[in-house]
A and B are shown apart, each in its own frame.
Chain A
Amino acid sequence: MARYHITTTINGDEVDFLCESDQTLLSVLRDELVMTGTKEGCGTGDCGACSVTVDGRLMCSCLVLGVEVEGKRVETIEGMAEGEELHPLQRKFLEHAALQCGICTPGLLIASRALLERNPDPTETEIRYWLAGNLCRCTGYHKIVEAVADAAREMREV
Chain B
Amino acid sequence: MRYEAPGSLDAATRLLADAEGAARVLAGGTDLLIQMRGDIVEPELLVDIKNIDEMREIAEEQGRFRIGAAVTGMEIMEHEAFNAAWPGIVDGAKLIGSIQIRGRATLGGNLCNASPAADSVPALIAAGAVASVIGPDGRRSAPVEEIATGPGQTSLKTGEIVVSFDLPERPPRSGDAYLRFTPRTEMDIAVVGVGVNLTLDGSGVCSAARVSLGAVAERPLSVEEAAAALVGTRVDDDALAKLSKAASEACRPIDDKRGTKEFRIEVAGVLAERAARIALERAEQR
Which residues of A come within 8 Å of B, CB atoms?
Answer: 1, 4, 21-22, 24, 43-46, 48, 51, 57-60, 62-65, 67-68, 70, 111, 114, 129-130, 132-134
Contacts of B6 in A (CB 8 A): none
Contacts of A65 in B (CB 8 A): 3, 26, 29, 33, 46
B104 touches which of A4, A43, A63, A129 (Cβ 8 Å): A63
Contacts of B186 in A (CB 8 A): 129, 132-133
Q: How far is the CB of B167 from chain A (nearest CB, A)?
A: 24
| Residue from A48, A59, A65 with most neighbouring chain B CB atoms (10 Å) | A59
Smallest CB-CB separation from B188: which chain A residue? A132
Answer yes or no: B187 CB below 8 A from chain A CBs: yes
Answer yes or no: B30 CB below 8 A from chain A CBs: yes
Contacts of A64 in B (CB 8 A): 29, 33, 104
B100 touches which of A22, A48, A129 (Cβ 8 Å): A48
Instruction: Give Cα A64 to B1, complex, Å.
Output: 16
Contacts of B5 in A (CB 8 A): 67-68, 70
Answer yes or no: B97 CB below 8 A from chain A CBs: yes
Contacts of B37 in A (CB 8 A): 43-44
Smallest CB-CB separation from A55: which chain B residue? B103
Query: How many pairs of residues, A versus B, come closer than 8 Å at their CB atoms?
Result: 80
Q: Is the beta-carbon distance between B187 and A68 smaller than 8 angstroms?
A: no
Q: Is the beta-carbon distance between A21 and B3 smaller than 8 angstroms?
A: yes
Instruction: Give Cα A67 to B104, complex, Å.
Output: 15
Q: Is the beta-carbon distance between B36 and A63 smaller than 8 angstroms?
A: no
Contacts of A51 in B (CB 8 A): 100
Contacts of B36 in A (CB 8 A): 22
Contacts of A63 in B (CB 8 A): 28-30, 33-34, 100-101, 104
Interface mask (B120-150 → A, CB under 8 Å = 1, otherwise 0): 0000000000000000000000000000000
Q: Is the beta-carbon distance between A114 and B99 smaller than 8 angstroms?
A: yes
Contacts of A4 in B (CB 8 A): 3
Contacts of B48 in A (CB 8 A): 67-68
Q: How far is the CB of B76 from chain A (nearest CB, A)?
A: 13
Instruction: Give Cα A63 to B46, complex, Å.
Output: 14
A21 touches which of B2, B29, B185 (Cβ 8 Å): B2
Q: Is the beta-carbon distance between B1 and A45 smaller than 8 angstroms?
A: no
Q: How far is the CB of B233 from chain A (nearest CB, A)?
A: 36
Interface mask (B36-69 → A, CB under 8 Å = 1, otherwise 0): 1100000000101010000000000000000000
Smallest CB-CB separation from B104: which chain A residue? A59
B187 touches which of A22, A46, A57 (Cβ 8 Å): A46
Q: Is the beta-carbon distance between A45 and B99 smaller than 8 angstroms?
A: no
Contacts of A134 in B (CB 8 A): 98
Interface mask (B11-36 → A, CB under 8 Å = 1, otherwise 0): 00000000000000010111001101
Q: Can you sample 8 A-B contacts with CB below 8 Å?
A: A57-B104, A64-B29, A65-B3, A65-B46, A67-B5, A130-B99, A133-B97, A134-B98
| Residue from A1, A45, A64, A67 with most neighbouring chain B CB atoms (10 Å) | A45
Q: Is the beta-carbon distance between A133 and B33 smaller than 8 angstroms?
A: no
Going nearest first, the 3 A-B pairs with the smallest beta carbon separation are A133-B98, A132-B186, A21-B3
Contacts of A67 in B (CB 8 A): 3, 5, 48
Residues of chain B in range 65-110 having any CB-CB distance to chain A below 8 Å: 72, 74, 97-101, 103-104
B98 touches which of A43, A44, A48 (Cβ 8 Å): A48
**With A21-B46, A48-B100, A57-B74 already in contact, 16 other A-B pairs whose C-beta atoms are closer than 8 Å:** A22-B1, A44-B37, A45-B30, A58-B100, A59-B104, A63-B101, A65-B26, A65-B33, A65-B46, A67-B3, A68-B5, A68-B50, A130-B99, A133-B100, A133-B186, A133-B187
Smallest CB-CB separation from A67: which chain B residue? B3
Interface mask (B183-224 → A, CB under 8 Å = 1, otherwise 0): 001110000000000000000000000000000000000000
Q: Is the beta-carbon distance between A24 and B46 smaller than 8 angstroms?
A: no
Instruction: Give Cα A114 to B30, complex, Å.
Output: 20
